[in-house]
Structure 1
Amino acid sequence: MVKNLFKSREALLYIMTISMVFSTSAWMSLLNNFAIEAASFDGSQIGILQSLREIPGFLAFTVVIVIMFIAQQRLAYISMMLLGLGVILTGYFPNALGLYITTVIMSVGFHYLETLNQSLSLQWLSKAKAPIVLGKITAAKSFTSLIVFVLIYIMMKYYSVEYKYVYVFFGGVTFITGVLIWIFFEHFKDDVVQEKRIVLKKEYWLFYILTLFAGARRQIFIVFAAFLLVEKFGVDIHNMVALMFINAVLNIYFAPAIGKFISKFGERTTLRFEYLGLVIVFVSYAFVTNEYVAFGLYIIDHLLFSMAIALKTYFQKIADPKDIASASAVSFTINHIAAVFLPFVLGILWLYSSSLVFVIGASIAVLSFILSFLVPKNPMQGFETTLKEKKRLAV
């Protein structure tokens, strides 16, 4: 049975995803408190750090160049080890320069691994199976986060483990896992030979724009929603971890349900629900004065992330199979265009008005909601948008 496990593509996707989440969840959950308590960061510095974190994401298109020399699967293993190394080093540099450097190391590994994970998922999973499996993988990510939050809570509350040793533990597990799966897992051949050059296709324009907006609003959530809780409401590390624990528990049940929802009602309906929900959440963030309401918004915001599966499966349905690796890399770059400068710009704006930051997020969600009406009910290669369908009917 163990031997068969090492021959399973789906099992490998689960292991790579779980390992990635194990270290990144720890890094993210500790970041704001570590940056404020150990490195005395303010809003502008956290903005700079997050902008630096996203530069490797912006450069994700370089994956296409690297896979000319290293197979996607092996590159994923290398990326996993680099991610683990970056997290291991984080706690040893509690100052601005140190955090900036270790963040970039961690981020290169994370963004390459995330890009390759998406590419391999869309290549290895059938179109009918993809929403269900991706929903289950998202649930597995949440369960992993749950384990991480419990471990951090126990380590820091009951044993007063220092930040640096917490980072070493979680980063070390990811690094070692990368080594082990490289040794034991079968190397799978590509079913379709992938395009090994950077390709931007006009047929995918709607996917590109929605991906750009998704990256922008994701940054506002990741950087400033958590920072709002810490700075405005004084939430400590234990309560932040408890809040993330709740998010993880809910997502274990919510994510697979979203996968089934996408299979039943389609990407168009799912994306509309996601974007409309985001408009409401961001407007509420802008004016919230009660910490428990802010907790509720943070939880809802996090749950809406599960609906982003629909954007991936929409792309899978409209894409030429040989474009998946290249387009996945390009989409990650597009996703991070706003991410490179937005945290820095909004970090400066935050010093004057935190509410305006979330109003901007709501505006982005409104634009996404409007564009979602161009997603066909049954997207496919050749009929990527409703505009294409209208042209076909006209003919």
Structure 2
Amino acid sequence: MKNKILNMRPEVLMFFILISAVAFGNGLSDAVYSNYFKEVYHVTAFQRGFIEFPREMPGLLCAFVIGSLGFLGDIRLAFIAQVLATVGVTFLGLLTPSFGVMLIFLFINSMGMHLFMPLQDAIGMSLADPKMIGRRMGQFSSVRAIFSLSAALLVFFGFRVGFFTFQTKIKWIFIVAAGAFTCATIMAAIMIARTKPKKTKARKTKLVLRKQYRYFYLLTILHGVQKQIAYVYGTWVIVDLLMKKADTLAILTIVVGFISIFFFNILGKWMDYFGIKRMMYVDALTFIGVYIIYGFVVWGIISEVLPKQGYAIWIVYLLFVLDRLSMQIGMVKSIYLRSIAWDHEEVTSTLSMGISLDHVVSILAAFAGGYIWMNWGSQWVFFMAAIFSLGNLYVAFRVQPDKEREVAEKMRSLLLHNKET
């Protein structure tokens, strides 16, 4: 292990440190927002859906921001992203603002977090050996999982012993998160100064929409629905229906984080071994199965067929863990995009466009989910997600990765020839 670290390229090691700090900061902020909203602002399920508008709007704007600032290069954009994340969470920690002002700082923090989403995949894939992209991406994800787990442990013990609480004027958990984002900001600055020019090469400023990437776009749109169900309403089942506190969510996050350390490495190897198409089938079938079971369990709890204690709670906890793990299989779509990209300089722009499409749907799904929860019953939120996940199955059936890769390689050769002439 020591030899592997010593032999690692400096830019790869620095990127490992950067994503570790970001994962730790996110684990101390984004992971506890549901409890923060509930305990400080006493929001209802409908208001919880409304909060997703300013929280997800940065994702909608992601393609336009990255498109307009693309000339700076990926690493400089990563630096800006960490500055925004730091500023937003710092003010949430120092102040207990009115609901409207809180949404502004939440927006700033969220803008930084969302900008980094496509950048971390783009930078990570650019640093990986082309023949081992899946494995390297799995390693990056495993490291993120380790620091997310560390953050979850700190959340759990912090809230249990009273060091962290949402009842004081200063929310120390957000201050510690700001410290982590500050470390990420510093590391991004060092990467700008020390990485080779080709790694910080500026891209053309453009938005990318190609017919050839249609299945990638469809997967990101479907991910927008699934993400809201997993991270908002899956969590809300535990917070609102089961009335659990932040320490319970922390324990579940610890479990997810611990499993993820090993799961991501295995997943990365599966990506390289089984190929994109088979992993897309796994992705689709996992989502469909989890959300159908989720819907029936939630229906059982609210109709009192199942109790709000005992084995029913453990089933919800198991589904929560499986749902979070299944979300990670979605990394296949980024690897799929890179394999079929006509120009590798388009990868970041296309990923950011995917994030924007994802968040258009996320915002709509947040409002729709809140309305359905309040008027039709919370179980229908999960049944809706299962129906949408049939789209993943359709994509898995339709894609032809090998053929699309051959076309992409020909187009890259043609584009390179045109640039040289």
Q: TM-score, normalised by structure 2?
A: 0.85
Question: Is 2:63 the counterpart of 1:65?
Answer: no
2-structure distance, mates of 1:131, 1:226? 29
- Match of residue 414 from structure 2: none
1-structure distance, mates of 2:204, 2:69? 12
Match of 1:171 among 144, 168, 178: 178
In the alignment, residue 359 of structure 2 is paired with which amino acid? H
Match of 2:373 among 331, 350, 354: 350
- Provide the secondary structure at the position in 2 that maps to 1:378: helix
Tell whether the 8 Å contact from 2:67 to 2:205 is kept in structure 1 after alignment.
yes
How many residue pairs are counted as aligned between the two chains? Answer: 382
2-structure distance, mates of 1:376, 1:275? 16
For residues 197-227 of structure 1, what are the alpha-carbon distances to aligned partners after superposition, in whole Å with 9 as ceiling and x for unaligned?
1121111111111111112211111110001
2-structure distance, mates of 1:87, 1:379? 45
Tell whether the 8 Å contact from 2:28 to 2:152 is kept in structure 1 after alignment.
yes
Query: Equivalent residues in 2 for 1:265-276 (5 A)?
Result: 265-276=274-285
- Match of residue 273 from structure 2: 264
- Provide the secondary structure at the position in 1 that maps to 2:205: coil
Question: Is 2:364 the counterpart of 1:341?
Answer: yes
Evaluate the alpha carbon distance shift between residue 267 and residue 381 of structure 1 in structure 2; reply closer, same or farther with a 3 A threshold.
Answer: closer
Query: Equivalent residues in 2 for 1:375-390 (5 A)?
Result: 375-376=399-400, 378=402, 380-383=404-407
Evaluate the alpha carbon distance shift between residue 10 and residue 176 of structure 1 in structure 2; reply closer, same or farther with a 3 A threshold.
Answer: closer
Evaluate the alpha carbon distance shift between residue 269 and residue 180 of structure 1 in structure 2; reply closer, same or farther with a 3 A threshold.
Answer: closer
Task: Give the aligned CA root-mean-square deviation in angstroms.
Answer: 2.2
- Match of residue 390 from structure 2: 366
Evaluate the alpha carbon distance shift between residue 216 and residue 127 of structure 1 in structure 2; reply closer, same or farther with a 3 A threshold.
Answer: farther
Question: Is 2:120 the counterpart of 1:113?
Answer: no
For residues 94-146 of structure 1, what are the alpha-carbon distances to aligned partners after superposition, in whole Å with 9 as ceiling and x for unaligned?
64223311210111111112222222223332331210011111111111111
For residues 316-335 of structure 1, what are the alpha-carbon distances to aligned partners after superposition, in whole Å with 9 as ceiling and x for unaligned?
10002121122122121122
- Match of residue 351 from structure 2: 328
User: 1:148: how far off?
Assistant: 0.3
- Match of residue 130 from structure 2: 127
- Higher mean C-alpha displacement, 4-13 vs 306-315: 4-13
Evaluate the alpha carbon distance shift between residue 260 and residue 6 of structure 1 in structure 2; reply closer, same or farther with a 3 A threshold.
Answer: closer
User: 1:86: how far off?
Assistant: 1.3
User: 1:292: how far off?
Assistant: 0.9
- Higher mean C-alpha displacement, 50-59 vs 3-12: 3-12
User: 1:24: how far off?
Assistant: 1.5
User: 1:270: how far off?
Assistant: 0.8
Question: Is 2:210 the counterpart of 1:208?
Answer: no
User: 1:188: how far off?
Assistant: 3.2
Tell whether the 8 Å contact from 1:127 to 1:316 is kept in structure 2 after alignment.
no
User: 1:193: how far off?
Assistant: 6.5
User: 1:31: how far off?
Assistant: 1.2
- Higher mean C-alpha displacement, 349-358 vs 94-103: 94-103
For residues 255-282 of structure 1, what are the alpha-carbon distances to aligned partners after superposition, in whole Å with 9 as ceiling and x for unaligned?
1101001110001111111111111111
Tell whether the 8 Å contact from 2:334 to 2:351 is kept in structure 1 after alignment.
no
Tell whether the 8 Å contact from 1:90 to 1:103 is kept in structure 2 after alignment.
yes
- Provide the secondary structure at the position in 1 that maps to 2:51: helix
1-structure distance, mates of 2:91, 2:244? 26
Tell whether the 8 Å contact from 2:21 to 2:183 is kept in structure 1 after alignment.
no
Question: Is 2:171 the counterpart of 1:148?
Answer: no
- Match of residue 300 from structure 1: 322
1-structure distance, mates of 2:396, 2:359? 20
- Higher mean C-alpha displacement, 157-166 vs 206-215: 157-166
User: 1:243: how far off?
Assistant: 0.8
- Match of residue 260 from structure 2: 251
In the alignment, residue 22 of structure 1 is paired with which amino acid? F
- Provide the secondary structure at the position in 2 that maps to 1:59: helix
Tell whether the 8 Å contact from 2:29 to 2:173 is kept in structure 1 after alignment.
no
In the alignment, residue 39 of structure 2 is paired with which amino acid? E
- Match of residue 99 from structure 1: 102
Evaluate the alpha carbon distance shift between residue 208 and residue 25 of structure 1 in structure 2; reply closer, same or farther with a 3 A threshold.
Answer: same
Structure 2: which 5+ residue stretches go unaligned? 302-311, 409-421
2-structure distance, mates of 1:371, 1:7? 36
2-structure distance, mates of 1:172, 1:362? 39
- Higher mean C-alpha displacement, 83-92 vs 189-198: 189-198
- Match of residue 418 from structure 2: none
Evaluate the alpha carbon distance shift between residue 190 and residue 212 of structure 1 in structure 2; reply closer, same or farther with a 3 A threshold.
Answer: farther
Structure 1: which 5+ residue stretches go unaligned? 385-395
In the alignment, residue 77 of structure 1 is paired with which amino acid? F
In the alignment, residue 319 of structure 1 is paired with which amino acid? A
Evaluate the alpha carbon distance shift between residue 47 and residue 367 of structure 1 in structure 2; reply closer, same or farther with a 3 A threshold.
Answer: same
